[in-house]
């Protein structure tokens, strides 16, 4: 989502019969039948856990699809076959490893990239996803204020949009999942099938609103908000970290229906006690008639980033939510 979209951006419905979707969806449904659950933690914590015993061989499905541990193919024959059919099996010496993870959010299951998420097209899922879901849920008191059309910008795994749609009482809303990363859109299609939203979801390859024409009652986004030295799409939010978040906030105003809302979950660098993102956002909105509600959800996230030269002047990175009416 962070690069310019190709001239011919594409859109498609989530389809369980799609050959790019069916093998992974079948694997996910198998995990659901096994009552699989896994809560994904931060990369730093995950690394600490797996480095306790680097030679550990997976003994169960959680080891394979949660902790991304290597496994013996002969011990997990059916799982290996499903991963191979999906193109998500890789060799690690005499062992094998899944290139995807599966995580749970409430009663839902989501596929995303395996640990570590180093590739430029990685699809991230973690603590930010859970905080994003809480921010969304807080805007749905008792099933009220239910939208009929939701747009999830930079959808990644699609968790935000799919979760938001599940909170709507009565008829499911039209859901539009938008990303520039084809792998993210593929995993989002799988996750729509796993969570029963495939009939009402459209997936669009687009740089934000470049290929979006219709307005929505609810626009949500959990964009990357770090300054990443490798400029990886799922992490890099621009030179200041919050540049993409500002762009989303500004561009969303022209795509909200009357009475609509934007829910933006992002990160804010705090420098000498000043929230830099809030300062820029306030100036950007000063010339409009729109008001916004701003909340610091977590005062200290991704603390390890402060060791990087680009954060040498930063006190902390806070997780924040912005709700625009």
Please check whether residue 230 is in contact with residue 120, taking contact to mean a CB–CB distance below 8 angstroms. Answer: yes
Residue 136, in any domain of the structure? yes
Q: Are residues 48 and 175 in the same domain?
A: no
Longest CA pairwise span in the chain (Å): 64
Q: Which two tokens stand for residue 36?
A: 């699989």
Q: What pLDDT does residue 166 have?
A: 93
Q: Please give the average per-residue pLDDT across 178-196, as a whole number.
A: 96
- Number of structural domains found in the chain: 2
Q: Are residues 42 and 163 in the same domain?
A: no
Q: What pLDDT does residue 3 have?
A: 36
Q: Are residues 144 and 278 in the same domain?
A: yes
Q: What pLDDT does residue 142 have?
A: 61
Q: What pLDDT does residue 14 have?
A: 61
Residue 109, in any domain of the structure? no
Q: Are residues 190 and 235 in the same domain?
A: yes
If pLDDT is split at 50, 70 and 90, which confidence band does 11 have? low
Q: What pLDDT does residue 159 have?
A: 98
Q: Is the pLDDT of residue 248 over 60?
A: yes
Please check whether residue 161 is in contact with residue 215, taking contact to mean a CB–CB distance below 8 angstroms. Answer: no
Of 53, 83, 104, which one is at a domain's C-terminal end? 104
Residue 2, in any domain of the structure? no
**9-13, 124-128, 244-248, 291-295: range with lowest mean pLDDT:** 9-13
Name the H helices within 21-91. Answer: 22-33, 43-50, 61-65, 77-86
For the entire predicted model, the pTM comes to 0.92
Indicate which CATH number applies to the domain containing 271: 3.40.50.150
Residue 132, in any domain of the structure? yes
Q: Are residues 223 and 171 in the same domain?
A: yes
Q: Are residues 97 and 128 in the same domain?
A: no
Q: Are residues 180 and 297 in the same domain?
A: yes
Of 80, 104, 128, which one is at a domain's C-terminal end? 104
CA distance 57 to 40: 19
Residue 1, in any domain of the structure? no
Report the run of H or E that residue 293 belongs to, with start and end: strand 292-298
Q: Which two tokens stand for residue 168?
A: 């709507």
CA distance 104 to 34: 13
Residue from 150, 145, 129 nearest 200 by CA? 150
DSSP E strand boundaries for 181-224: 201-205, 216-221
Of 50, 74, 104, which one is at a domain's C-terminal end? 104
Q: What pLDDT does residue 1 have?
A: 39
Mean confidence (pLDDT) of the chain? 92
Number of Cβ within 10 Å of residue 177's Cβ equals 29
Distance of alpha carbon 322 from the chain centroid: 17
Q: Are residues 99 and 121 in the same domain?
A: no
CA distance 133 to 167: 10
If pLDDT is split at 50, 70 and 90, which confidence band does 15 have? low
CA distance 19 to 108: 22
CA distance 320 to 292: 13
Q: Are residues 176 and 240 in the same domain?
A: yes
Residue 194, in any domain of the structure? yes
- Give the CB-side neighbour count of residue 244, counting CA atoms within 13 A: 29
Per-residue pLDDT tens digits for 231-246: 888 899 999 999 999 9
If pLDDT is split at 50, 70 and 90, which confidence band does 2 have? very low
Q: Are residues 95 and 180 in the same domain?
A: no
Beta bridge partner(s), residue 65: none
If pLDDT is split at 50, 70 and 90, which confidence band does 57 have? very high
CA distance 268 to 135: 16
Q: Are residues 135 and 277 in the same domain?
A: yes
Q: Which domain holds residue 100?
A: 22-104
Q: Is the dihedral of CA 145, 147, 152, 156 positive or negative?
A: positive
Residue from 194, 192, 215, 189 nearest 12 by CA? 189
Q: What pLDDT does residue 8 have?
A: 37
Per-residue pLDDT tens digits for 151-183: 999 999 999 999 999 999 888 899 999 999 999
Q: Are residues 212 and 314 in the same domain?
A: yes
Q: Is the dihedral of CA 9, 13, 18, 20 positive or negative?
A: positive
């Amino acid at each position: 989502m962070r690069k310019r979209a190709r001239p011919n951006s594409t859109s498609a419905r989530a389809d369980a019969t799609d050959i790019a979707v069916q093998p992974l969806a079948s694997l996910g449904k198998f995990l659901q039948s096994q009552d699989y659950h896994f809560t994904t933690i931060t990369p730093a914590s995950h690394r600490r856990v797996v480095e306790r015993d680097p030679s550990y061989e997976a003994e169960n499905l959680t080891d394979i699809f949660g902790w991304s541990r290597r496994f013996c193919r002969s011990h997990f024959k059916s799982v290996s076959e499903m991963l191979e059919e999906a193109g998500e099996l890789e060799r690690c010496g005499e062992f094998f490893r899944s290139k995807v993870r599966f995580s749970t959010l409430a009663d839902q299951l989501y596929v995303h990239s395996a640990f570590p998420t180093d590739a430029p097209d990685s699809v991230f899922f973690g603590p930010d996803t859970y905080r994003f879901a809480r921010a969304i849920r807080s805007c749905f008191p008792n099933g009220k204020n239910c939208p009929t059309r939701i747009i999830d910008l930079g959808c990644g795994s699609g968790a935000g949009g799919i979760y938001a749609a599940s909170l709507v009482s009565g008829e499911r809303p039209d859901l539009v999942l938008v990303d520039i990363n084809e792998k993210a859109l593929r995993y989002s299609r799988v996750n729509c099938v796993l969570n029963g939203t495939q009939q009402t979801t459209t997936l669009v390859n687009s740089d934000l609103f470049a290929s979006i024409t219709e307005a929505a009652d609810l626009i949500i986004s959990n964009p990357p908000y770090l300054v990443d030295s490798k400029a990886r799409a799922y992490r890099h939010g621009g030179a200041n970290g919050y540049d993409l978040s500002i762009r989303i906030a500004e561009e969303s105003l022209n795509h909200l229906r009357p009475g609509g809302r934007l829910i933006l979950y992002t990160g804010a660098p705090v420098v000498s006690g000043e929230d830099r993102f809030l300062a820029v956002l306030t100036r950007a909105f000063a010339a409009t008639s729109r008001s916004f509600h701003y909340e610091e959800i977590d005062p200290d996230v991704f603390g390890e980033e402060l060791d990087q030269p680009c954060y040498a002047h930063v006190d902390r990175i806070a997780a924040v939510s912005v709700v625009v009416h």
